[in-house]
Amino acid sequence: MKPSRYTDSQIIAILKQAEAGSPIPELCREHGMSTATFYKWRAKFGGMDASLMARMKELEEENKRLKKMYAEERLKAEIVAEALAKKW
């Protein structure tokens, strides 16, 4: 996945500006982003502060790592089952 051009604190600052009443199209133009990006951020990070956002990213990374570990172990189990099923 492509890394974001914006830091967590920048994203939160942009969302707070919108909550304060800045028009969204103007805000997006000012920061050089699309309105779709803004709405995606608002859906994902709305109401969070920097610490919650950092914790969520840590959990996403851990979840990604665990899914990869599970897939590798599942593949090993399938290989073993296939080898045991063959007649020698």
Q: Could you report the per-residue pLDDT of 56-73, keeping only the tens digit for each?
A: 889 999 999 999 999 999
Judged on CB neighbours under 10 Å (0-12, 13-18, 19+), 4 is: exposed
Contact predicate 71/30, CB 8 Å: no
Q: What average pLDDT score do residues 72-88 get?
A: 90
pLDDT class of 8 with cuts at 50, 70, 90 = confident
Q: How far apart are CA 74 and CA 58, in angstroms?
A: 24
Q: How far apart are CA 69 and CA 53, in angstroms?
A: 25
Q: What average pLDDT score do residues 43-47 get?
A: 86
> pTM of the predicted model, to two decimals?
0.62
Q: Which residue has the higher pLDDT, 87 or 86?
A: 86
Q: How far apart are CA 55 and CA 59, in angstroms?
A: 6
Residue type, 83: A
